[in-house]
């Protein structure tokens, strides 16, 4: 009982890191983490065992997808939130940094890449988080890496902020 | 076993970067990369991406955790949130009954239509006010 709460508590820094990279906005990221914690602590009985981190990443990923869905209905808002990447002090001033490259990815590719690279989840765990076969995870990773590479190499694909 | 397939697929290159290969396939990939500079450059580029992502965001995990993300704090708020939710359910039930009663009266007597409209207008206003709170349900006070 107490160890469940301790495990949740211990995962908070990683959840914040993942949420921050996913949304590239500190406030939105912490809102997501807070909602994730509220749900996780309320539904302790639903936790089937296994890796609690993967379970928490699943909740956070789904909450973020819900957020983006409701955002898509109000497209005017989507341009305001990207405070990490949106450094518009001239076209080359911000440079082609990694957060801009991440911003250009489709959401499910960004999730897969961040979970493997930043959070060290296995392909199998990511497949569970995203609810897809491992093969789908691998093709998402491949597409994410190809797109980031072409972006950093100087090609300029149309930024896709919302899926 | 002593003679693994020397051919390496693009999927295996990703799995190599992500430490998903068996030691045997890992060895096969390393041999492959030694004689395939294009693939070796590809792998190096993916590793550089991963390093850049970690360099950019790893520090977030070392920041002090804000008070509102402490488990203790959330559990404390959760109890009052449940009280708010219970009150909201009861209010919705009673409100529904009142609306139904007024609506019934309105259909019987057209004079009462304005009262019904006023009530539903208030309900819509309340809905618009509180629908925005979905994101921070636990920040809504109990009183």
Name the residue ranges covered by the structural domains of chain B. 10-61, 67-139
Model confidence over B17-54: pLDDT tens digits?
Answer: 999 999 999 999 999 999 999 999 999 999 999 999 99
Domain total in chain A: 1
String of b and e for A123-144 (b: at least 16 CB within 10 Å)?
bebbbbbbeeeeeebbbbbbbb
B22 interfaces chain A, CB cutoff of 8 Å: no
The whole-number pLDDT of residue B114 equals 72
How many interchain CB pairs under 8 A, A with B?
A: 97
Domain that holds residue A24: 2-152
Does the structure show a pLDDT above 90 at B127? no
Does the structure show a pLDDT above 60 at A163? no
Say if A162 falls within a structural domain: no
Q: Do A99 and B56 touch (CB under 8 A)?
A: yes
Q: In whole angstroms, what is the distance from residue B58 CA to residue B74 CA?
A: 25
- The CATH number assigned to the domain holding A116 equals 1.20.140.160
Say if A121 falls within a structural domain: yes
The whole-number pLDDT of residue A88 equals 42
Q: In whole angstroms, what is the distance from residue B127 CA to residue B124 CA?
A: 5
Q: Max Cα separation, chain B?
A: 93
Does the structure show a pLDDT above 90 at A126? yes
Tokens of B69: 């993300």
The whole-number pLDDT of residue A129 equals 96
- Given A37, A123, A149, which is nearest B20 (Cβ)? A123
Contact A136, A130 (CB under 8 A): yes
* ipTM value for the complex: 0.83
B128 interfaces chain A, CB cutoff of 8 Å: no
Average pLDDT, integer, range A62-79: 80
Say if A159 falls within a structural domain: no
Residues of B whose CB is below 8 A from A21: 53, 56-57, 60
Q: In whole angstroms, what is the distance from residue B12 CA to residue B23 CA?
A: 12
Distance of residue A98 Cα from the nearest chain B Cα, in angstroms: 6
Q: Which residues contact B49 (CB under 8 A, 6 or more apart)?
A: A98, A101, A117, A145, A148, A149, A152
Residues of A whose CB is below 8 A from B54: 117-118
Model confidence over A139-153: pLDDT tens digits?
Answer: 999 999 999 999 998
Does the structure show a pLDDT above 90 at B81? no
Does the structure show a pLDDT above 80 at B58? yes
- The 3-state secondary structure of A52-81, one letter per residue: HHHHHHHHHHHHHHHHHHHHHCCHHHHHCC
- Given B14, B50, B60, which is nearest A138 (Cβ)? B14
Q: Do A114 and B49 touch (CB under 8 A)?
A: no
Say if A163 falls within a structural domain: no
The whole-number pLDDT of residue B106 equals 63
Average pLDDT, integer, range B75-79: 79
């Amino acid at each position: 009982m107490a160890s469940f709460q301790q495990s949740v508590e211990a995962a908070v820094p990683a959840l914040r890191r993942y949420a921050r990279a996913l949304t590239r906005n500190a406030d939105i990221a912490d809102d997501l983490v807070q909602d994730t914690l509220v749900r996780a602590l309320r539904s302790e009985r639903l936790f089937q065992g296994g890796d609690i981190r993967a379970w928490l990443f699943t909740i956070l990923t789904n909450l973020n997808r819900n957020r983006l869905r409701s955002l898509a209905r109000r497209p005017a808002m989507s341009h305001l939130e990207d405070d990490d990447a949106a450094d518009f002090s001239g076209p080359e001033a911000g440079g082609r940094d990694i957060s801009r490259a991440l911003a250009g990815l489709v959401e499910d590719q960004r999730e897969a890449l961040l979970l493997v690279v930043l959070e060290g989840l296995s392909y199998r765990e990511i497949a569970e988080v995203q609810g897809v076969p491992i093969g789908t995870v691998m093709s998402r990773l491949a597409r994410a890496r190809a797109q980031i590479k072409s972006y950093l190499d100087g090609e300029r694909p149309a930024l896709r902020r919302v899926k | 076993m002593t003679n693994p397939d020397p051919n390496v697929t693009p999927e295996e290159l990703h799995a190599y970067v992500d430490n998903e290969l068996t030691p045997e396939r890992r060895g096969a990939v390393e041999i492959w990369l030694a004689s395939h500079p294009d693939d070796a450059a590809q792998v190096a580029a993916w590793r550089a991406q991963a390093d850049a992502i970690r360099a950019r965001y790893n520090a977030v995990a070392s920041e002090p955790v804000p008070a509102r993300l402490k488990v203790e704090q959330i559990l404390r708020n959760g109890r009052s949130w449940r009280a708010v939710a219970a009150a909201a359910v009861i209010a919705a039930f009673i409100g529904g009954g009142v609306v139904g009663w007024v609506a019934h009266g309105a259909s019987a007597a057209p004079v009462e239509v304005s009262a019904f409209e006023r009530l539903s207008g208030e309900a819509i206003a309340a809905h618009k006010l509180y629908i925005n709170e979905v994101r921070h349900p636990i920040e809504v006070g109990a009183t």
